[in-house]
Structure 1
């Protein structure tokens, strides 16, 4: 999986990153607290995709967007928080 497959949808104070394959969807949901802070709420990957790196790709795209757009990420989602700990080079975009 690559970040090219990901799309971001924003609706008011909610957003999500999605990867779709047919009917199956992996997503990372966000709450937009302020223009400078997005809260990573939940990551969901279909069982059939487990171990393929779909969740990690979603988080990497979130980190990339945070750097490009200048916002911080509050990692309430356990998966996003685990990825943050695995990638100390991402410390600049996380608010913990």
Structure 2
């Protein structure tokens, strides 16, 4: 139901919609919904993380590179590296931390 809620809230959202899908000892799975042209501002992660694109297309940005990620793509986000996302299309992603 969480992914469905994110999809519904995206329709009216002016910024990313972020909800925890599941968490436990040492891990967290987060659902991120981004409307086309929405930006997830730059930040760092202190733990290993993998971004999985369920729907749409996003541009992952670091200082030295940009990577276009489409539906079904998996991407390892480096620890302690400043990065952000730009939605090229309406997109739903899973962020797996830990």
TM interval, short-chain normalised: 0.3 to 0.5
Q: Which has the higher helix share?
A: 1
Task: Tell me the TM-score normalised to structure 1 length.
Answer: 0.33
Q: Which has the higher strand share?
A: 2
Higher relative contact order (CA 8 A, sep 6+): 2
